[in-house]
Amino acid sequence: MSRLSFINKHLGKYRYLLLSIIIATIIYAGINLLSSLIFSFVIDNVIGNSAIENPLMAFLASILGGVDNIRNNLWIMAIVLVIVYICVNLLMSYRQRMQGVVSEKLVENIRNDLYSHLQILPYAYHVKTKSGELIQKCTSDVDMVRRFFAGQLCEIFYIVATAIIALSVLYSINLRLALIASVSLPIIFLYSYFFFKQVQKQFLLSDEAEAFMSDVIQESLSGIRVIKAFNREKYEVQRFLNTSKKYSDITYKMIQYLGSYWSSSYAICLLGILSVVVAGIFAVRSGELTIGNFTVFVSYQTMILYPIRQLGRIMTDFGKVTVSLKRLVDIINEEGEDLISGEKPDLLGDIEFKNVSFSYDEDHVDVLKDIDLLIKENQTVALIGPTGSGKSTLIYLLSRLYEPSKGDIYINHHNLKDINKNYLRENVGIVLQEPFLFSRTIMSNLKISRPDIDENEIYDATSIAAVHDVIKEFDQGYDTIVGEKGVTLSGGQKQRVAIARTLVKKTPILIFDDSLSAVDTQTDAKIRKSLKEVFNKCTTIIITQRVASAKDCDNIFVIEDGRITQSGTHKELIQKEGLYKRINELQTNTESEVI
């Protein structure tokens, strides 16, 4: 999708409103210039009694009863001027209000489309893209587009229309003086354009300094518990003061640049007006120019120069808008996941990995290598192995967050590639090692997967997860706000709430990704005992570092360096030399020492 088609798509029906705003702007520019011609007409033709040369003014005089009638009733021209200014203000009001409508509807459509598209982008895209970068694109870049359509786009048409109409009138009045008036226009435009082109670096530095300051604030607030635990308040305050001062110094320097520009460009505009005034005085004295036309030249020169000065800045801002649009289009052009097509078979059956390998795109090094394993229906199996051996990646493949580089995965003899992704994920419940809780009530977090669930089922799930009594002890009970990222709960409490949230789904496949690592051994045993009844009704995969969590499983797979090196029951594996036996001996000895 190109940038133009991107804007056209999100404007939708409002593109016609935008066209009407542009037309109104051009008409507004023309009527705004009319007042100077009317003053010239009154001075030269009504009061001065000279012949009418301007066809527009001749037409105006004819419909108003002729020059003699106007001379005897000057109040007529006052009414004409009032009508002109009313038209100007009505058009200006229409333009301002409709610009707000168009710009806000445009960015609303863009924001909604961006957020919706980000939701369907593959997990791999979010892993390799910084969330802060995406947030900046969805806020700063969208706001850049909004500001341009809220004023600058129509301002370009106003400035260009004003310059064309005004210069056309001036050249029809006096060629030599019009040439003098025209000389300063390209000078002020080029001065403005190149100044803002050069100062863009300073704007960028200011934006980066502000972003860095915001990062410091966000990081400090997110880590306030650690800061207080390590008595680092003074350090963090000083760190913020340093970043704040840097931002202030850069921005102050930018303001100085802008101050010098506005004063110097104002001087250029005044010199341009002065040159027209001086040349006009000589032209009037020589009889080459009438007093009324002299006022037109001075008025038009003022009405053109100052907007032209703004045009240079608008054009440099337009360059920034095109960059912002490209960044937004790049997101939309990323191919999203197909969450619609695919089979929806019964997923109660065996899970089989056949010769499965996987590597991340950026390094092409296999994280999983030729994995072959079979998990029988309603079995409870454990995956155990060192950190980084590929255990979690195996689970991500099962829920199609990643796709295998080689090989196939089957559930109930159906290839995972042929199964609808939404349907698959609805039937695979995952409890992560570091669960994410939303800043809502505990009850709202538990109801995320099933909003209409009966609360008694919620209580059953939290009881199995050994967290029901804990929640009841809170002042607000299940209505307790867990805070951002669940910060008000301990690590073990978060994990148990996450377990209950997954149990609520009642999926045929249940995965625990080291999700009891933050609870003590006694609570771990209590939860596993409560889960036995659940395990008998679904296929369960437990990723763990604890032999105690794996020993009761129907089968245990040992993963080392992306390969399955051992498999069997606990009794079988402790009889064989290998990693599992070493882990068991180490953990058994450690527990004995603790006792």
Question: Mean per-residue pLDDT for 185-211?
Answer: 77
Residues 307-344: pLDDT tens digits?
Answer: 887 777 787 777 778 878 888 888 888 888 888 888 88
Instruction: Extract the tokens encoding 435.
Output: 């669960």
User: Residue 487 — very low, low, confident or very high, per pLDDT cuts 50/70/90?
Assistant: low
State the average pLDDT for the chain: 83
User: What is the predicted pLDDT for the residue at 408?
Assistant: 92
User: Residue 517 — very low, low, confident or very high, per pLDDT cuts 50/70/90?
Assistant: low
Question: Do the beta carbons of residue 555 and residue 375 sit within 8 Å?
Answer: yes
Cα–Cα distance measured from residue 351 to residue 539, given in angstroms and rounded to the nearest whole number: 9
Cα–Cα distance measured from residue 120 to residue 114, given in angstroms and rounded to the nearest whole number: 10
Chain centroid, CA 194 distance in Å: 30
Number of other residues whose CB lies within 10 A of the CB of residue 325: 21
By the 10 Å C-beta count (0-12 exposed, 13-18 middle, 19+ buried), 385 is classed as buried
**Do strands 555-560 and 428-431 pair parallel, antiparallel, or not at all (unpaired)?**
unpaired
pLDDT above 60 (res 262): yes
- For the ranges 25-34, 370-379, 491-500, the lowest mean pLDDT is seen at 491-500
Residues 525-563: pLDDT tens digits?
Answer: 777 777 776 666 788 888 888 888 788 888 999 998 888
Question: Mean per-residue pLDDT for 243-266?
Answer: 84
User: What is the predicted pLDDT for the residue at 594?
Assistant: 44
Instruction: Extract the tokens encoding 306.
Output: 């100052």
- For the ranges 358-362, 369-373, 479-483, 591-595, the lowest mean pLDDT is seen at 591-595
**Could you tell me which CATH class the domain 3-333 is placed in?**
mainly alpha
Residues 146-170: pLDDT tens digits?
Answer: 888 888 888 888 888 988 888 888 8
pTM of the complete model:
0.73
User: Residue 280 — very low, low, confident or very high, per pLDDT cuts 50/70/90?
Assistant: confident
Question: Do the beta carbons of residue 177 and residue 279 sit within 8 Å?
Answer: yes
Instruction: Extract the tokens encoding 436.
Output: 């994410």
By the 10 Å C-beta count (0-12 exposed, 13-18 middle, 19+ buried), 98 is classed as middle
Q: Which residues of 343-357 are buried (b: 16+ CB within 10 A; e: fewer)?
A: eebebebebbbbebe
To which H or E segment does residue 371 belong?
A: strand 366-375
Cα–Cα distance measured from residue 485 to residue 497, given in angstroms and rounded to the nearest whole number: 13
Question: Mean per-residue pLDDT for 51-67?
Answer: 81
The proportion of the chain whose per-residue pLDDT surpasses 90, expressed as a percent, equals: 5
